[in-house]
């Protein structure tokens, strides 16, 4: 859960959605990511125009990374989270319901 979700106190609501889909939370923690961690996690985006400002914003406050297990966990999580671009995410998905379009907070 990125820093805007942590700041907006959405952790419980988002965790509940994963659990309702039958997934099991294996590990989670609150942390402030380093630039190096973000470069590794978002390796395919390093060098793109948006990466630097996104990463700098994420390094400023807490995020909530999670590890989930369960049948078809990756496919289930991707569907639950929704489209990468918030404006394309369907209602009922996490991004569709909690999006902040055009704002890095």
Instruction: State the CATH number of the domain containing residue 92.
Output: 3.30.70.141
Whole-prediction pTM = 0.85
Give the whole-angstrom CA distance, residue 72 versus residue 105: 32
Does 103 map to a domain? Answer: no
Rounded to the nearest 5 percent, the helix, strand and coil shares of the chain are: 50, 10, 40
The domain total for the chain is 1
Q: Give the pLDDT confidence score for residue 101 in this predicted structure.
A: 54
> Which residue is associated with the tokens 């496919």?
75
For 57-96, how does the pLDDT look when each residue is reduced to its tens digit (9 = 90+)?
999 999 999 999 999 999 999 999 999 888 899 999 999 9
Does 105 map to a domain? Answer: no
Host domain of residue 26: 3-98
> Which residue is associated with the tokens 């630097």?
52
Measured from the Cβ of residue 3, the count of other Cβ atoms closer than 10 Å reads 19
Does 81 map to a domain? Answer: yes
């Amino acid at each position: 859960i990125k820093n805007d979700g942590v700041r907006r106190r959405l952790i419980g609501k988002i965790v509940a959605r994963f659990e309702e889909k039958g997934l099991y939370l294996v590990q989670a923690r609150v942390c402030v990511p380093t630039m190096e961690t973000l470069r590794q996690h978002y390796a395919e985006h390093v060098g793109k125009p948006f990466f630097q400002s996104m990463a700098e914003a994420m390094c400023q406050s807490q995020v909530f990374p999670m590890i989930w297990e369960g049948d078809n966990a990756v496919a289930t999580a991707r569907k639950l989270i929704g489209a990468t671009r918030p404006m394309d995410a369907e209602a009922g998905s996490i991004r569709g319901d909690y999006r902040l379009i055009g704002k890095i907070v």
